[in-house]
Structure formats: structure tokens, C-alpha cells
């Protein structure tokens, strides 16, 4: 039986401003990438999301980012190494404390937005993020863009890595994500999204934005929690995957152990 992890970016509300429906998404996903306060999230809201994840038995990851709340972490930054390593340590440490209070633990790290895209191909910043993770806990798993050079780099530094693909993002012919500044970068047709995810899980391939076919080896699929219709999309994905004999389970759950 095929097995896949379904993840979403959560805990991204701030004060009176709500971002997505964390409670509904936690009933559907198997892993939650929880904001750490740099691009989004406030302590009380993050704690609520962590408690809800713990109650649902959903795995928790630190969704680290550049310090960019105004830009929602989607603006590229040329951060120096010492600063970036410290930022990574700080964010993971803060989430670990909140997770412990919520009765759960941080098992992995997924960079967010511009940081995620930058380190996919930038070895200097990639090494800085890896160094920050290892300084906190070398047992943490790194979630990285499927097919990116970061995967081999992290493994060479001793980190376990899970490769991720995106249900609702368009891909370039070389396997990268189409920039959000370009038309068609984010997909909204639920049925089309479902079919492409089923193709990815079944065949390991996706259709790129130009119509060509690319190959991706991914163990986790992301549905963005802040996307319009995110809950409906995640619901349709989960139902379709299960109907096609695909088991949904966090990559942190050992093989052969019930989710």
C-alpha cells in the first residue's frame, strides 16, 4: 500500500487577524508546520494550534522563516550566516517550549516562503539553516523541496530529510516552484489538484506549467492553509487518496505502526 504524508502551514494568525482554519485542517492533515513568530503567528495562537495538534495526534514541525511579518516571509533576504543560524535556533527553541507546554513535541523543521525557496538552491544559506537545526537537535528532520540540491546537502551534514511536493503550486519544467509573482503560480481547481496529486503518488510525475512532465520523489504533500478553499481542497485530497488505497500517515510514524 502506498503511504503519503499530508501537511499544511498552520498557526499563522496574529492577534485579532485569523489566517486559515487550523481546527478544520488538523482534522485532515497528518503533519502541521506551525509558525514560529517570524513571518506570522503570536504566542497564544501558536499555543492553541499546538494543543489542537496534540489532541488530534498530528505531528508538529517548526515553520521557520525570515523575520518578515509585513511580507509574510515571502520576501527574499540576504541574511548573514551568524544571524541566520541564530534566527533558526531561536525559532525552533521557542516552538519547542510551546509544544512541550501543549503536550507535544517538535519533530521536524520546514522553512517557509522565501527562505524555503532560497535554500533550495543557495548552499550558503542552506548550510546555515542546517547548522541551526543541528545546534538545537540533530535528530530533527528537515522538510525540503523535492528534487532540490538541499536534500543531498542536508544528508551530507547528517540530517534526515523528507522531500515535499505542493498540491496547489505550479512547477517549472526544471522542477522548481513557479514564482507567486507569475500568473498561474497557485492553483485553485480542486479536481485538477486531486488528479495531479494522485498522478504524483502513483507515478512520481507531475505536469509542469508548460505542459511537460517532470519526475518528483516526494514523501509529503503540502496544502497551504492560507489558500482560499484550503479546507475543501484538503478534504477532497484526503478522500481521493484513501479511495485509491493510499494510506495517510506522518513520515515521523515508523512503518508498520498505525497512524
Q: What is the pLDDT of residues 22-63, one digit of tens each?
A: 999 999 999 999 999 999 999 999 999 999 999 999 999 999
Place of cell 504533500: 221
Q: What is the per-residue pLDDT for 55? A: 97
DSSP secondary structure, the chain, as one string: --EEEEEEEE---BTTB--S-HHHHHTT-SEEEEE-SSSS--HHHHHHHHHHHHHHT-EEEEE---S-TTTTT-S-----HHHHHHHHHHHHHHHHHHHHHHT--EEEE---HHHHHHHHH-HHHHHHHHHHHHHH-TTPEEEEETT-HHHHHHHHTT-EEEEEEESSB-B-TTSPBPPTTSTTSB---HHHHHHHHHHHHHHSEEE-TTS-EEE---SEEE--TTSTTHHHHHHHHHHHHHHTTPEE--TTSPTTS--
Instruction: Count the neighbouring beta carbons within 10 Å of the beta carbon of residue 67.
Output: 14
Contacts with 245 (C-beta within 8 Å, 6 or more apart), sequence order? 1, 2
Q: How do the domains of the chain map onto residue ranges?
A: 3-248
Cell numbers linked to 112: 517557509
Measure the CA angle with vertex 12, ends 7 and 14; round to 5°: 165
User: d(Cα 92, Cα 69) in Å, to the nearest integer?
Assistant: 17
User: d(Cα 63, Cα 158) in Å, to the nearest integer?
Assistant: 20
Q: What is the per-residue pLDDT for 254? A: 61
Q: How many CA atoms are closer than 13 Å to the CA of 56, on its beta-carbon side?
A: 22
Q: What is the per-residue pLDDT for 79? A: 97
Q: What is the per-residue pLDDT for 224? A: 81
Tell me which residue of 132, 165, 130 sits closest to 147, measured CA to CA. Answer: 165
Cell numbers linked to 205: 510525475
Asked if residue 32 lies in contact with residue 58, where contact means CB atoms within 8 angstroms, the answer is: yes
Q: Which residues pair with 209 in a beta bridge?
A: none
Q: What is the per-residue pLDDT for 256? A: 45
CATH number belonging to domain 3-248? 3.20.20.370
Work out whether the CA dihedral 58, 59, 65, 67 comes out positive or negative. Answer: positive
Q: Mean pLDDT in runs of 10 for the chain (259 residues)?
A: 93 93 96 98 98 97 98 96 98 98 98 97 98 98 97 97 95 91 89 94 94 95 83 94 96 62
Q: Is-above-0.75 flag for pTM?
A: yes
User: d(Cα 145, Cα 68) in Å, to the nearest integer?
Assistant: 21
Q: What is the per-residue pLDDT for 225? A: 74
Amino acid at each position: 500500500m502506498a503511504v503519503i504524508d499530508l501537511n499544511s502551514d498552520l498557526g499563522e494568525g496574529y492577534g485579532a487577524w485569523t489566517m486559515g482554519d487550523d481546527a478544520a485542517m488538523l482534522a485532515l492533515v497528518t503533519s502541521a508546520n506551525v509558525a514560529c513568530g517570524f513571518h506570522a503567528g503570536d504566542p497564544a495562537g501558536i499555543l492553541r494550534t499546538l494543543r489542537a495538534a496534540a489532541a488530534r495526534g498530528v505531528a508538529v514541525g517548526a515553520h521557520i522563516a525570515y523575520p518578515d511579518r509585513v511580507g509574510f516571509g515571502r520576501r527574499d533576504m540576504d541574511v548573514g550566516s551568524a544571524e541566520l543560524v541564530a534566527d533558526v535556533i531561536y525559532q525552533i527553541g521557542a516552538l519547542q517550549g510551546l509544544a512541550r507546554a501543549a503536550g507535544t513535541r517538535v519533530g521536524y523543521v520546514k522553512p517557509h516562503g522565501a527562505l524555503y525557496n532560497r535554500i533550495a538552491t543557495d548552499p550558503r544559506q542552506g548550510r546555515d539553516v542546517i547548522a541551526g537545526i543541528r545546534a538545537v537537535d540533530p535528530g530533527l528532520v528537515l522538510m525540503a523541496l523535492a528534487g532540490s540540491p538541499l536534500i543531498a546537502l542536508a544528508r551530507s551534514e547528517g540530517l534526515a530529510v523528507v522531500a515535499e511536493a505542493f498540491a496547489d503550486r505550479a512547477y517549472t519544467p526544471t522542477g522548481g516552484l513557479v514564482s507567486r509573482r507569475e500568473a498561474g503560480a497557485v492553483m485553485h481547481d480542486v479536481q485538477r489538484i486531486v488528479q495531479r496529486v494522485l498522478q504524483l503518488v502513483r507515478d512520481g510525475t507531475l505536469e509542469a506549467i508548460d505542459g511537460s512532465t517532470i519526475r518528483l520523489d516526494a514523501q509529503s504533500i503540502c496544502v497551504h492553509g492560507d489558500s482560499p478553499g484550503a479546507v475543501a481542497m484538503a478534504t477532497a485530497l484526503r478522500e481521493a487518496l484513501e479511495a485509491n488505497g493510499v494510506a495517510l500517515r506522518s513520515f515521523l510514524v515508523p512503518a508498520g505502526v498505525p497512524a
